[in-house]
Structures are given as C-alpha cells and as structure tokens.
Amino acid sequence: MDIREYISLCRVKKGNISEAELARRTGQTPQNMNNKYRRNAFKISELEKVANALDADLKIEFIDRETGKPII
C-alpha cells in the first residue's frame, strides 16, 4: 500500500472526507492536492497537515525487513 492509498482509506474511515475537503482542511487547493495524489509525493510537513486535518497524529517508523518489527 502506498501513501495515497493509505490517506484515502483514512479519509473513508474518518467519515468519507472528500479529497477536496481534505485539501481545504490542509490549506491547499483541490488541484494541488490532486497533483500530490497523482505523483504520490507528500513531504513530511504535508503529512502532518493531513494528520491534523483528520484529527490524528502522524507516526513514522522504520521497519526492519528481516524481523518485520520497528527498528526503534
């Protein structure tokens, strides 16, 4: 699963928030948000805004490929 799929699933889970509504909540135009979705290119600062818009916290982990567990 890539980040855009993950964000889309979270939007549905949090009340079926549209992409345009998420853009508004993050202070972006719908076109700008759509471009990020198409490129699957989000900066960490943008993901923090998305998390905030979804009333959530952002947690990023590095997962060890051998063990499948977080490194830290």
* pLDDT tens, position by position, 24-34: 999 999 999 99
In eight-state DSSP terms, residue 35 is H
State residue 1's pLDDT score: 82
Residues in CB range of 49: below 8 A, 6 or more apart: 26, 27
State residue 56's pLDDT score: 97
Q: Name the band, by pLDDT with cuts 50, 70 and 90, for residue 62.
A: very high
- Please state, in angstroms and rounded to a whole number, the distance separating the CA atoms of residues 33 and 22: 8
The mean predicted confidence, pLDDT, of the chain is 95
- Please state, in angstroms and rounded to a whole number, the distance separating the CA atoms of residues 38 and 27: 18
Stretch 41-54: mean pLDDT, rounded? 96
pTM for the predicted model, two decimal places = 0.84
